Structure 1
Amino acid sequence: MLKNVVAVLLDGVHPFELGVVCEVFGLDRSDQGLPVYDFAVASAEGPTLSTHAGFTMTVAHGLERLEEADLIAVPAGENFAKRAFPEELLDALRRAVDRGARVLSVCNGVYVLGAAGLLDGRRCSSHWRYAKELAIEYPRARVEADVLYVEDGPVITSAGTAAGIDACLHIVRQEHGTQVANAIARRMVVPPHRDGGQAQYVERPVPISSCDTVGDVLVWMERHLDEEVTVEELAIRAHMSPRTFARRFQQETGTTPYRWVLRQRVLLAQQLLESTDETIDAIAGRAGFGTAAALRHQFLRTLGTTPNAYRRTFQGPTRVA
């Protein structure tokens, strides 16, 4: 279980990316029954660090604070794509992964993980501006240039700025379930879930007018996840041709109607498994999978676990499976 979290900083740290990690893991929300982490900020380059925004900060902890961390986060920093990193930090990151800790990078913090050799043979992500350079610098890494975040074993890498929030909430969701992640998201006033495979940016993120959007269709789709529907039927509901609808859906969501519905169905199944005692068959029906076998297949494919195992993780063995 995730308990001990450290954000490790280098000179020129970007305050926003640091703030993302602090906001998710560093605040005491026990008044809402939410988990409290043993959170700390550590410096890899002395007690006083400059920031990208022009102010300095004093950091109480050094690299020794990483030794017992369950999760080590590396926020972005100035010129990370070009600078060298302290060997002591790279050694500490390698040791952490070797003993079972996880590491998370936000934006170009991924270069620190690359310098430590933690990207070798792994899928990873960063801000789209750095993707080409990252692939050249670390040819053994499998860079995915157009996604929000990637998890490959103990290494989680995220794209620019707000994608770091998505990656942090993804970790919380894995550790504590959808309800906890959603509660933190509500406190932060951010979307509760954006899938890691979603595109980093969309061609037209803000609809031109209320009649030139798929927003109303998305609301309808979310309320009818248990129904089978075709692109042609959705296009009629949106008053568009199927081809135009498919194109605009991709532009506004960064994914296809099929992938969007599939992910929403998995999310609904997760919520029902966490919060109800309904049978797997009943949940499969409510979530639109039809059969328990189909639900199990998608759980294994998407989450790497079975519905029963997922329920045991978040409800315990005494609840009905």
Structure 2
Amino acid sequence: MHSVAILVLDGVVPFDMAAPLQVFDWTRLPDGRHPYRVRLCAERPEVLADGGFTLRVDRGLEALADADTVIVPGRAEGAPPPSAAVLAALRRAAGAGTRIASVCVGAFVLAEAGLLDGLRATTHWVAAADLARAFPRVDVQPDVLYVDNGQILTSAGAAAALDMCLHMIRRDLGSAVAANAARMSVMPLEREGGQAQFIVHEHPPVPRGSDLEPLLDWIEDNLAHEVTLAAMAARAGMSERTFSRRFREQTGTTPLQWLLRARVRRAQYLLENSDYTVERIAQQSGFGSPTAFRERFRKVVGTTPYAYRSTFNGRRTAAAVRSER
């Protein structure tokens, strides 16, 4: 039997803990046996969870020494940093070859222990920039559901933890067992796209009083039309070279990258809130042809317009769905 230890720290988010607990507990072999034994462990017998209630845990950090897999759930903002004892226990487990995985911002604990140095990793997209800034030796991937480095795995939000756990089950026991676990969890064995489809593509902030503000408003009002670098520079009364430099200085990005984000945001809004066809959305967002729209949308968002609408718009018509395929 494969032993799974879920390491519960102060401020633990219950749903982040429940997701792996559920999927491993529901996994069955073809003969009905349970292949996984899941245990909660913590540094102390009582742990304060996010929401203000207390969890009683019957196993201490010694459980990490005999576990085959250790999972670190996410914790609430403002939770105390992991103790030296917790970090040391994680390092010992990693040194012994134990598989270690994190859920959501649990990746910060693994990074603090030094287990992500030189590796690709992910976390919830909202926290990805903070993870990259705090731990520059970690190659943060903000647009994926999970990252498997072999021994060390990281996942995005709690739902992505289910994807990661199903992936581990498939690695351990094969696709048939993993598919059955997915059915018990009422989710597909594989989901299209990564967490990029959930990222809110905000425009880079523009300093208050910037001379670019009227230009950016004009771009937003004219997304359905062709907007070139030359047209933007002319409207700003600058040469293209000077305009591009000034734009990057004030926004941190190029004019054309800003324009692409604006088009994607317009398309996302229309996919979420209308039954317009892909052809109409491509036109109103300024992508031109539906083919160009699909290609660029997928590059930025990580999934197709059809899949995005299926996830975020519950009012699409049958005609609109057929047009997107």
Distance 2:53 2:278 in 1: 42
**Most deviating of 146-155 and 61-70:** 146-155
SS in 2 for 1:130: helix
- The alignment status of 1:243 with 2:292, answered yes or no, reads yes
Q: State the 1:159 CA deviation.
A: 0.7
Computed over aligned residues only, the root mean square deviation of the Cα atoms, in angstroms, reads: 2.9
Match of 1:186 in 2: 183
CA–CA separation in structure 2 for the residues paired with 1:93 and 1:33: 32
Q: Deviations over 1:158-179 (max 9, x none)?
A: 1112111111111111111122
Higher RCO (CA 8 Å, separation ≥ 6 residues) = 2
Counting matched residue pairs gives 229
Whole-Å separation in 2 of the counterparts to 1:59 and 1:128: 30
Query: 1:93 maps to which residue?
Result: 90
> Residue 26 of structure 1 aligns with which residue?
25
TM-score, normalised relative to structure 1: 0.63
Gaps of 5+ in 2: 200-264, 280-288, 307-325
Identity of counterpart residues, as a percentage? Answer: 38
Q: Which residue of 2 aligns with 1:43?
A: 42
Is the CA contact (8 Å cut-off) linking 2:5 and 2:41 kept in structure 1?
yes
1:211-246 superposed Cα distances (whole Å, 9 cap, x missing partner): 7479xxxxxxxxxxxxxxxxxxxxxxxxx8322343
> 1:48-85: CA deviations, max 9, x gaps?
111112221111110011111110000011236x7421
Q: CA deviation at 1:139?
A: 1.0
Per the TM alignment, residue 99 of structure 1 is displaced from its structure 2 partner at its CA by: 1.2
1:125 has 2:125 as partner? no
Aligned-pair distance for 1:36? Answer: 2.5
Task: Give the greater-gyration-radius structure (CA).
Answer: 2
In 2 relative to 1, CA 200–163 (structure 1 residues): closer, same or farther, beyond 3 Å?
farther
Q: What is the correspondence of 1:192-203 to structure 2 with a 5 Å cutoff?
A: 192-194=189-191, 199=196, 201=198
In the superposition, relative to structure 1, how do residues 248 and 125 fare at CA in structure 2: closer, same or farther (>3 Å)?
A: closer
Alignment map for 1:269-280 (pairs within 5 Å)? none
**Aligned mate of 1:157, from 146, 150, 154:** 154
Shift of the 151–196 alpha-carbon distance from structure 1 to 2, 3 Å rule, reads farther
Q: Is the 8 A contact 1:135 1:141 kept in 2?
A: yes
Please tell me the residue identity of whatever aligns with 1:68: D
Equivalence for 1:138: 135
1:213 and 1:88 map into 2 onto residues whose CA distance is 55
Contact in 1 for aligned 2:297/2:303 (Cα 8 Å): no
Task: Decide whether aligned partners of structure 1 residues 175 and 241 sit closer, same or farther in structure 2, where only a CA change above 3 A counts.
Answer: same
2:190 partner SS: coil
Per-residue CA deviations over 1:144-202 (Å, capped at 9, x if unaligned) read: 11111111131100111211111111111111112211111111111221368563526
Task: Identify which of 98, 105, 130 aligns with 1:108.
Answer: 105
CA contact (8 A) 2:45 2:57 kept: yes
1:57 and 2:55 aligned: yes
Matched residue, 2:172? 175
Q: CA deviation at 1:141?
A: 0.7
Q: Given the superposition, is the C-alpha separation of residues 33 and 255 from structure 1 closer, same or farther in structure 2, using an over 3 Å criterion?
A: farther
Q: 1:179 to 1:211 in 2, by over 3 A?
A: farther
The AA in structure 2 aligned to 1:3 is H
| Match in the other structure for 2:213 | none
Q: Say whether the 8 Å CA contact 2:9–2:75 is kept in structure 1.
A: yes
Deviation at 1:90, TM superposition (A): 1.0
Distance 2:81 2:149 in 1: 24
Q: Which residue of 2 aligns with 1:302?
A: none
- Alpha-carbon distance in 1 for matches of 2:127, 2:134: 10
Question: Which residue is equivalent to 1:147?
Answer: 144
